Amino acid sequence: HGCIPVIVMDGVLMPFEGELNYSSFALRVKEVDVAKLDAILRAVPLEQRVAFREAMSKLWPRFVYAQAILDEDYLPRPELPRTALRTPQLQRLQTTVAEPRHSADALDTLMMALHRRIKSRIR
């Protein structure tokens, strides 16, 4: 998870942008500057790239419905094969989301967004 998201869409809110601070882990580039993208990316200081990666290493589970993938009880029908849950990739994901700092997934983030919306409508 060493990727740094680069967003090249002017005036678009990204998923969960009201709940997550995208500027802490992603780089926005204006559409008119896409021809200069290579130079822009190369100009990002090492310290900033390290900070982006560190932030993303903490936040990436917020974009994955990990519990739905990993928990047999979440699978919609009992007759579906459970062997896929035992692949090395899913076992690594299960180990990762078991860590306290990664315990929240996309469902938790969605609940944060809904909670914020409800609060704003009550006022």
Average pLDDT over residues 90-105: 67
Question: What pLDDT, in 10s, does the model give residues 52-67?
Answer: 999 988 888 888 777 6
Which region holds residue 11: left if phi is over 0, alpha if psi is between -120 and 50, else beta?
Answer: left
Q: Which two tokens stand for residue 110?
A: 């969605």
pTM to 2 decimal places: 0.66
